């Protein structure tokens, strides 16, 4: 598995995205939701839709960039064969790459998508648990 975020890993089809919103399971934490369902194709695909009214273009692009990079680093530690949508909401907190990594890790743990005995990179640990 390559560490790149390849084109085939992007969910782009509006029909597939609507289907995932309608029929997928969801887990949520403050500031983010993860919709997911099995895809039977042997690798994970993910999309990063943002809700209406999520700031200006700069803020939207930054949020998507943080989400893509967090997924790219975490994907080697995930079970394969799932379609996912990471929906991030604007919060009053400072939006940072580290907070996005922690959000994605927490959501994937709640959804039981992380491989057992997976040694996660330090970016995915909360600030109070780093050594």
pLDDT value at position 128?
Answer: 56
The pLDDT of residue 131 is above 50: no
For residue 50 the two structure tokens come to 């943002």
Calpha distance 124→130 (Å, rounded): 9
pLDDT band at 52 (very low <50, low <70, confident <90, very high): confident
Residue 119: predicted pLDDT: 75
pTM score, whole prediction:
0.85
**Percent of the chain surpassing pLDDT 70:** 88
Q: Which of 66, 71, 63 shows the shortest CA–CA distance to 98? A: 66
Give mean pLDDT, residues 83-91.
Answer: 91
The stretch 89-108 carries a mean pLDDT of 86
Q: Which two tokens stand for residue 73?
A: 């680093």
Q: What span, in angstroms and rounded, lies between the C-alpha atoms of 48 and 57?
A: 14
**Would you say 108 and 78 are in contact if contact means Cβ atoms under 8 Å apart?**
yes
Confidence band, pLDDT 50/70/90 cuts, at residue 18: very high
């Amino acid at each position: 598995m390559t560490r790149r975020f390849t084109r085939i890993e992007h969910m782009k089809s509006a029909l597939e995205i609507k289907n995932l919103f309608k029929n997928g399971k969801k887990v949520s934490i403050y500031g983010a939701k993860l919709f997911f369902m099995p895809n039977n194709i042997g690798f994970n695909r993910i999309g990063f839709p943002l809700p209406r009214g999520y700031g200006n273009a700069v803020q939207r692009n930054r949020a998507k960039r943080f989400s893509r990079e967090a997924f790219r680093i975490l994907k080697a530690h995930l079970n394969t064969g799932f379609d996912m949508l990471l929906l991030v909401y604007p919060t009053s907190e400072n939006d940072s790459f580290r907070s996005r990594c922690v959000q994605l890790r927490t959501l994937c743990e709640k959804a039981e998508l992380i491989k057992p005995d997976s040694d996660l990179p330090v970016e995915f640990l909360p600030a109070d648990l780093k050594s």
